[in-house]
Chains A and B, each alone.
Chain A
Amino acid sequence: MSNHTLLTIGAFILLTSILLGFYRLLGATGDDITNAQDLILATTIATSYVEQAQGLAFDEVTDSTSAAIGNPSIMTASSLLGPETGDDSIAVFDDFDDFNRLVAERTATGTNKRYTTSFRVNYVRPDNVDSYSTSQTYTKRLDLKTWRSYPKAADGEKIDTLRMSIVVGYFHFD
Chain B
Amino acid sequence: MQYVLDYIAAAILGAALLFIIINANDTAAESHSVYNGDALVQEMLVQTAYLLEGELRNMGVGVPEDQQTILFADTSRLRFLYDINRDGTPDTIQYYEGTTAEMAGTQNEQDRPLYRTVNNSTPLVVGAVTVFRFRYLTRLGEVLSTPVIASRLTEIHSVEITMEVQNPYAMMRTEEQVMSGERNALYSSSLWQQTRLASQNTRR
Complex interface: stretch among A9-17, A124-132, A150-158, A159-167? A9-17
- The A-contacting residues of B in range 1-32, CB under 8 angstroms, are 2-3, 6, 9-10, 13-14, 16-17, 20-21, 24, 27-28, 31
A29 at the interface (CB under 8 A from B): yes
From B3, B34, B192, contact of A44 by CB (8 A) = B192
Q: Which of A35-43, A71-79, A141-149 contacts B (4 or more CB under 8 A)?
A: A35-43
Stretch of B74-82, B121-129, B175-183, B193-201 contacting A (4+ beta carbons < 8 Å): B193-201
Which of B38-46, B110-118, B148-156 contacts the other chain?
A: B38-46
Taken residue by residue from 47 to 66, chain A's Cβ proximity to chain B (1 for < 8 Å, 0 otherwise) reads as: 11001101111100011000
CB nearest neighbor in A for B39:
A33
Contact B42 A52 (CB under 8 A): no
A interface, size bucket: 35 or more
Question: How far, in angstroms, from A26 to B196 measured CA to CA in the complex?
Answer: 37
Closest chain-A Cβ to B129's Cβ sits at a distance in Å of: 13
Complex alpha-carbon distance, A173 and B46, angstroms = 36
B-contacting residues, A4-39, CB 8 Å:
4-5, 8-9, 11-12, 15-16, 19, 22-23, 26, 29-30, 33, 36-37
Enumerate chain A residues within 8 angstroms of B16, measured Cβ to Cβ: 12
Bound form: Cα–Cα A22–B27 in Å: 10
How many B residues face the partner with a CB closer than 8 A? 43
Q: How many A-B residue pairs have CB under 8 A?
A: 104
Identify the interface centre among B38, B140, B164, B203: most chain A CB within 10 Å of its CB.
Answer: B203
Q: Could you write out 30 A-B pairs with CB less than 8 Å apart?
A: A2-B2, A5-B6, A8-B9, A8-B14, A12-B13, A12-B16, A26-B28, A26-B31, A29-B35, A33-B35, A33-B39, A40-B42, A40-B46, A40-B190, A47-B53, A47-B194, A48-B193, A48-B195, A51-B158, A51-B194, A55-B158, A56-B203, A57-B203, A57-B204, A91-B141, A94-B203, A109-B162, A110-B193, A170-B204, A172-B204
Known: A33-B39, A55-B203, A170-B204. 17 other contacts (CB 8 A): A5-B10, A19-B24, A30-B35, A33-B42, A36-B38, A37-B38, A37-B42, A41-B193, A44-B194, A48-B194, A48-B196, A52-B197, A55-B197, A57-B204, A63-B203, A110-B191, A173-B204
